[in-house]
Every structure is written in structure tokens, then in C-alpha cells.
Structure 1
């Protein structure tokens, strides 16, 4: 799915109004109907709503939602800054319609400050939309802070009030903290970064029928990784194939006390469909790897550290899980990269070694994939003030080095050599455990070996990783799930995507 800026979303609305054609107030009604349908389907046990409306079009959405909820039999109270205030044209139309219903009370924000509402009442935020360009102040700030202090379920319409669609917020800004955000048609970039995404809660994308021509023809460099994209990338197996059809993987890693990282990566590569998997590790890892992963083959890479890396050119390499950063290993990796030109996947200690000398990063072959978490990224490329700036720097480096960067975060980003950013929306906090990154390395390496391009291997890899983690969390909980559970659930994820792409009579 494309991610548009607030300005492009506004233009998409205008294009829809002009070319469907549809009146702007009718488009507002359509958006409100989509919200009310979701609310009525998902909030059936709740009977009362308090809706907080601003003076602009987001407030107009709120007025229309209030009317439609009332018509469905819910109890609705509406709060505005000033009952005699000036509203946008479409908001004024819906405000007038709302006043015709005697059963809906319309009060001011200051009245709410004195009230105590039952915890069963759902609070709906329709104060500010994507057009906000300033820090929230005055009565709006007071009402947002008051609402944030309540334990009630909170829903934002399109975007939490106080949040910007495309950039970070200032420190100590007043932002509505939603449990759910009902976003119209598109994800906003701010939903996908830790500093701002925490305010959106669970994001629900509602299709309100914005014009497909504008969406298809308008360029963007930002996308979400959703099922539709994965269905285009994923290649089902040809029944007339053999193990040689699915490539060879070499996982280079493991050291004293860290053999588990190599084991997890090897197992993930095997479970992701590659034909043959080799593990290159120190001699003492032989028994561990052969017992834990009998399907893989072992190549000795040194008695104590990985001192020599000699691999056939037809093997796709994932380097780093549990590698350690001993001098001998550093020399071995650097010498190898100086003489190797095929794409590789670099993670963990491979990245830590490369970060020791600023010249090393230039040895990484073109179209390779690096998978840093924020600290590893900082060691490689320097500090940034926030995750938005880190993402911008990653785009610059991916273009400069002609590599893919998998920037691991709550919403992991795949950044391509063309400067495109793909945000993953699968996965959960259960992945915040040692070993999760080693699994991702194995998955992506396996996919690259199977013939996927570097971009598609990275995009499909992070989706598989996150989706399998979601299945694991359903079975084991986010707290108790282990990285090995994620490997096990790869089978569930492959069944899921195969079912989606299989042609049926």
C-alpha cells in the first residue's frame, strides 16, 4: 500500500471530489459511515459515546459519526470548543444536522472538565486531522490532557489530535493517546515510528473509496508491506523441482558461548525453503550444529574463531549471527569482502566488525542486504536525533552504497538502493528477545538463495518473520514466545500465503 503525505492525501480528496464526482460533504459522509460501521461491529457491548469535535473537517467527521451512531441506537454526547463557534463549510453542515436531533446533547469542552463519565463510555477524538501544522494549545490542549488521564477506551478519527502525519512532534506536545485509530484509506508515516506511533494504538485502515486513478498514478517512495504486496512477490513452488532448484545457503557465525545464534539462523534458513544449508563455524561448533540441525552440513572455519572464509560462489551467504569480533575473525571477514562480489547478508557481529573502520562499509558488495538494529546502525553511520532522521540517513546510505538496509524496529523498514522505504506492519513486541534477529538473517538469506531479488528477499523476509511472530504470539503470548517458536510458525505462515496465491476453480 502506498503511503502519501498529508498534502497528497488532500489532493487525493480533491481529485475524488472532482472526478468521481462527489460533493465534499458526501465524501465526509462516506468516511463517517465507514467509521460507524467499524465501531458498531467492534463496540457492540458499549452503549454510550462521548465525541470531541474540532472546528475543521475532522470535527465534521465527528459530527456525522455522532448522528449516525445515534440513529443506530447508541447514546451520544458531543463536545466542542464553543457551541457558537465558526466551523469549516462541511463541518458546519453536519453540525447543523446534528442540532436537529434533540436526543444528542452538545456541550463545550469546559463543561467536560467538570463531568465524570462512566468508564464504559467510549471517547472519540475528532478534534484535529491531518491538516494540523502547529503545536496544540489552549482549550484543545486541556481537553486532550484530560482525556489522556481517563481509563476509557479511546478512538481517534483519521489521526490522533496533536500528531502530524509526516514528521515527529515537539517534546512535551499534547497528543491524544488512542487505543484505536480509524485512518482513512492510507497509513500515515507517523504511525510507523516509535516516537509517534505509540499515540495511534491499533491502526485500522478504512477504505472510503478515494479515486483509484489518483492513487495508481501518484508517485511515492514510501509503502507498507501488506498481503497484497506479498502476494505479488511470493513464488509458489513448482512441483517439478528438486533441491538444486532452491539454492544453497551458507550461514557464517557462531563462537564460544554464541553457537545458539548460528543454530537459530541455520534452522530459519532450512524452514524458509532453501535447498541446501551449510554452517561455517569454529571447530567446536561441529557437534552442536550437527545435532541441533541434522539437515544442514558443517564447514569448519577455524579452531577457535572464524579465521578463514572460503566458500563456493554459488552459495548465498548470511554472515554475522554469534560471530564475535576477535581480531582473527575481523581479518578473515575483511579479506573475504575484498575478494567477493556477490550479494551477501550481513548482521550482528559482522556489522560490528565493519563499524570498526569507516572504510570497511565500502567493501560490502552491491545489492547486499545489511540488517542493523538502531544501535548497530548508529555504530555504522553515526548518531541521529530520532528515528525519523535515522530513516532519512538510511535512505541516503542505501542509495550511496547501492545496498538494501533492513532497519530493524517495531515497524522494520526495508530501504532499497533506489531510496524506496517499505514499512513492515506484521510482528509484535514478542520479538524483543535475543535470537530474533538471527532468525531474520536465516530467512532473508534463504530467500535470496531461492532466486528472489535483494529487495524482494528483504521485503518478503521481514513479512514472514513478523507474520510468524504474530502466529507464535497467538499460541504462546508475547511474553512467553521464544525465537524457536517463530521458526516453528514459519510453516503456518507459508500455508497462509500459499492459500492466498493458489488458483482455485
Structure 2
């Protein structure tokens, strides 16, 4: 699913109106009908007070049309015009008149002493500002937003929480609606997925208002949301007449004294993701541990007992995953450097591999094209430097990706895979996955997919999806608190099977 910016969404509205032979007010009626159906299906005529706050633009017009439908169904509705401007959109005015024709007159709010009484048992519909907002609301409107947030009532925002921008982080964080639920028209919005802005809506849902799919399909967007359908389209089925070598060979390079578990998790995850063969390259202290714990994994060792002192092997892997638990001792740094000098294999780099790259950034020039990096926020900051906010972070990662031709997986609640200007936003995963070893499993999964001839971008995007889905399926039977990296691996098979489920 694509994500469009504010300009493109406005163009999509206009294209739909022209191509489908409808008026803008008819398109607004579609949007309001979807809002009404969502609310009505849940309230079923319940005697609850509904407060609808409408701005004077098209977002407010949506709110007024919704109010008319709710009043017609005898709901207990109070409607307020948030009069922040004397300029009103044409469609707002049409719906304002339609509401008055029902002998229903909205209250007009012009300043702080006009604020209505709100109870925590009420429902608030926020239709003050839409996606076109690009400046802070004036003081009394900011005060109204704070007043709504403090009411503790359940808040439903129309399209986007008021006060939130489409392509920037608000400077005044108190002047943004804290929505319990956002009903987004046709497509989700980028701010829903970023830590700095996603906090303003606990949940969101996309309502199909019939925007023209031809425009959306042809629109020049490089930002995508990855759900089950998108993941299924990437899936490669197995052939009947195949063998283990058909599905590639992953070499996992990592581990140090006390941290052999990191390499174990990556190795097991690579195997469970479908790789035909997996070899672990460890310091000598890890040999017996790995051979005992994971009999399916082949093991090679470095000369040093506690650290990797060289990376030399005679096997012929398809891909190398490197860095997990490896440490950054001088001898290990030197081994990593010497390996990169001669390596031509695809790479997936995590953990201490990333830390070494951050410390010795000339090594970035030695990475093969489309090397996959999987940093958590701290590792990312060491690689690219600090950022002002999430939009600045994305800009810096795009520039970094283009400069070195790398794929970067920004790990987080909605992990984002970045390749040049393209963003792939993941929709699986949960807070339970903030646990030791979770990143090691992701590295192994991605490497296992590269071994199976997925392109590097596909492997990163699909791997992030499977990793998150395995975590989601695990917590359904356990809990956030008890989720472990080993359980993520255990549920990888279920994540694959889920691709074909109808639920």
C-alpha cells in the first residue's frame, strides 16, 4: 500500500472528482458516510453524548456532514464550529447550511471562555484541522486542543489528529489532539508510523472513500506500507525437485566470550527462515556450545579462544551475516577490516559490525552494493549522527543509503527499510519484542532469505515482516513480558503459514 503526501492526496481528490464525474460535495458525503457507518456500527444508537468539533475547512465539512447523519439517527449530538478563520471552504458552507435546514444550529467557539463542558463518558469527534495544516494553531485553539485532551473523553480524529502535520513534527506538542482512534481516508499517513508523531493516535483505521485507484497506482510515491498482502506477493514457494543447496548457505560470523548466544540466535533464525545450510564462524570458546545446542549448524572457529581474530574460511556461502556479539576488540576490528578488503559476498551487518563501521567509517566504502545494515536507534545514531526529529532522521538515512548504496533497516515499533529514496514501513511486531536477542534473530532471518535468492531489498522487507509476525503470534499464546528471542524463532513457521490464512 502506498503512502501519499498532502499535495498528492489533494490531487487524488481532484482526479477522483473529474474522472468519476462527481462533485466535491459528493466526495465529502462519501467520507462522512464512512465515518457514520464506523460510529453507528459500534454505538448502535447508544445514549452517549457526542461532541463534534469542526474547523472551517473541508475537515470541518466532513464533521458537519457526519453530524447531520447522526442527528438524523436521533443521536445526542453537540456540534461546535471552531472559528479560527473568517475564510470557509465552499463544501464546509454547503454542509453548514444542510445542518441548519434540519433546524440544528451548531455553537460557534471563538475564544477560551466558549469551551463546552465535556465529561469523560462522552465521545469527541475531532474535525478541526485536516492534513493541510502547516503552521501552529493560534493560542486559543491550542488551548481548546489541550482542553479536549484533558477531558479524558474518548477522542476520534477525522483523517489525522488536529494539530499534526503531514511532513513535520509539531513544535508545540501540547497543541495536538491525543486521539484514541484516527479514521484515515483511503490511505494511512506517514506520521502514524513515526515515534515522534505516532504517539498522537493510539490506533488508526483506513476508510475506503473510493478515491480513484488509477491515480493512486500511477502516483509517484516511494513510501509503502507492508502488510500481509504485500508480504505474500514477495513469498517464493519451494520447488518439488530441489535440495538443500537450492536454498543457499548462510555464514554467521559473530560471538565472543559470554556472547555466543547472539551468534546462536542468528544461526537458528537463518535456518528456520528457510536457508538450506548454515555455518557459524565463532571464537574457539563457542565451538562446543554451538555443536551441542544446534546440531543442524556447522561450525568453524577463529584461532583465538575468546574473540574472533581473523575471518578466514574455505566454505562457499551465499551470504554472510556478521557482527552479532562479536565485540570491538582491536584484533576483531582488524579481522573485520581484512575480511572486507577481500569480500565479494552479500552482507547483512548488525550489532558490533555496525559499531566497528561507525568507529572506522572508511570501511563503509568497502561494503558490497546493497549490503543490509540493521541498526537499533543507538547504532544508527553512531553511524549517521544525531537528528533533529524523525523526518530529519529519514532524510539522513536516505542520504546515507544513497552515498554508500546500502539498505538500512531502522528498527523500531514500525521498522522502516530504507533503500535510497524508498521507504518500506512494517506493520507487524509488538512491544514484547523489545527483548535481548530480538535483533540477532532478525539478522539471521534476513540473511536466510538472501540465501534463498530473495533480492536484498525483498529479504530486508520480507524478513522484517516475518520477524514481527512471529512475535505477534507468540504473544497471542504468551504475553509481551514473557516473549523471548527464542520464541520469535519458534514461531517463524507460524508466520509463514499465516501468509495463507484468511483471517
Match of 1:69 in 2: 70
Match of 2:397 in 1: 394
Q: Does 1:268 align with 2:269?
A: yes
| Whole-angstrom distance in 2 between the partners of 1:78 and 1:111 | 16
**Structure 2 CA distance for partners of 1:114 and 1:455, relative to 1, 3 Å:** closer
| Whole-angstrom distance in 2 between the partners of 1:245 and 1:284 | 32
Q: Deviation at 1:423?
A: 1.3
Q: Deviation at 1:132?
A: 1.0
Name the stretch that deviates more: 68-77 or 450-459: 68-77
- Matches of residues 305-320 of structure 1 in structure 2 within 5 Å? 305-311=307-313, 312-320=315-323
**Structure 2 CA distance for partners of 1:165 and 1:148, relative to 1, 3 Å:** same
Match of 2:448 in 1: 446
Per-residue CA distance 1:118-174 (angstroms, 9 max, x = gap): 322211100000111210113321211001112221111001100111222214451
| Whole-angstrom distance in 2 between the partners of 1:226 and 1:54 | 33
Match of 1:8 in 2: 8
Q: Is the partner of 1:345 in helix, strand or coil?
A: strand
Match of 2:165 in 1: 164
Answer whether contact 1:177 1:199 (CA < 8 A) is retained.
yes
Q: Deviation at 1:181?
A: 0.9
Q: Does 1:246 align with 2:247?
A: yes
**Structure 2 CA distance for partners of 1:132 and 1:328, relative to 1, 3 Å:** same
**Structure 2 CA distance for partners of 1:234 and 1:124, relative to 1, 3 Å:** same
Match of 1:475 in 2: 477
Q: Deviation at 1:289?
A: 1.9
- Matches of residues 214-233 of structure 1 in structure 2 within 5 Å? 214-233=215-234
Q: Is the partner of 2:361 in helix, strand or coil?
A: coil
Answer whether contact 2:55 2:83 (CA < 8 A) is retained.
no
* Count of residues in correspondence between the two structures: 499
**Structure 2 CA distance for partners of 1:99 and 1:288, relative to 1, 3 Å:** farther
**Structure 2 CA distance for partners of 1:47 and 1:239, relative to 1, 3 Å:** farther
Q: Does 1:368 align with 2:340?
A: no
| Whole-angstrom distance in 2 between the partners of 1:310 and 1:247 | 19
**Structure 2 CA distance for partners of 1:174 and 1:92, relative to 1, 3 Å:** same
| Whole-angstrom distance in 2 between the partners of 1:179 and 1:484 | 33
Answer whether contact 1:113 1:143 (CA < 8 A) is retained.
no
Q: Does 1:53 align with 2:45?
A: no
Q: Which runs of 5+ in 1 are unaligned?
A: none
Q: Deviation at 1:232?
A: 1.7
Match of 1:422 in 2: 424
Answer whether contact 2:183 2:207 (CA < 8 A) is retained.
yes
Match of 2:26 in 1: 26
From 440, 449, 466, the counterpart of 2:468: 466
Per-residue CA distance 1:4-56 (angstroms, 9 max, x = gap): 11011001101111111111011011111112222233455673321111000
Q: Deviation at 1:112?
A: 8.5
Match of 2:459 in 1: 457
| Whole-angstrom distance in 2 between the partners of 1:112 and 1:106 | 17
Q: Is the partner of 2:279 in helix, strand or coil?
A: strand
Match of 1:291 in 2: 292
Q: Deviation at 1:413?
A: 1.2
Q: Is the partner of 1:414 in helix, strand or coil?
A: strand
| Whole-angstrom distance in 1 between the partners of 2:174 and 2:223 | 26
| Whole-angstrom distance in 2 between the partners of 1:75 and 1:482 | 48
**Structure 2 CA distance for partners of 1:332 and 1:86, relative to 1, 3 Å:** closer
- Matches of residues 88-107 of structure 1 in structure 2 within 5 Å? 88-102=89-103, 106-107=106-107
Answer whether contact 1:46 1:122 (CA < 8 A) is retained.
no
| Whole-angstrom distance in 1 between the partners of 2:89 and 2:60 | 9
- Matches of residues 138-157 of structure 1 in structure 2 within 5 Å? 138-157=139-158
Q: TM-score, normalised by structure 2?
A: 0.94
From 330, 344, 347, the counterpart of 2:347: 344
Q: Which runs of 5+ in 2 are unaligned?
A: none
**Structure 2 CA distance for partners of 1:34 and 1:470, relative to 1, 3 Å:** same
Answer whether contact 1:255 1:324 (CA < 8 A) is retained.
yes
Match of 2:358 in 1: 355
Q: Is the partner of 1:199 in helix, strand or coil?
A: coil
Q: Deviation at 1:101?
A: 3.5
Q: Is the partner of 1:377 in helix, strand or coil?
A: helix
Q: Does 1:182 align with 2:186?
A: no
Match of 1:324 in 2: 327
Root mean square deviation of aligned Cα: 2.1
Q: Does 1:281 align with 2:282?
A: yes
| Whole-angstrom distance in 2 between the partners of 1:46 and 1:237 | 56
Q: Does 1:406 align with 2:409?
A: yes
Q: Deviation at 1:477?
A: 2.6
Answer whether contact 1:158 1:181 (CA < 8 A) is retained.
yes
| Whole-angstrom distance in 1 between the partners of 2:308 and 2:251 | 14
**Structure 2 CA distance for partners of 1:113 and 1:266, relative to 1, 3 Å:** farther
Answer whether contact 1:252 1:320 (CA < 8 A) is retained.
yes
- Matches of residues 464-503 of structure 1 in structure 2 within 5 Å? 464-499=466-501
| Whole-angstrom distance in 2 between the partners of 1:94 and 1:410 | 39
Answer whether contact 2:250 2:321 (CA < 8 A) is retained.
yes
Q: TM-score, normalised by structure 1?
A: 0.94
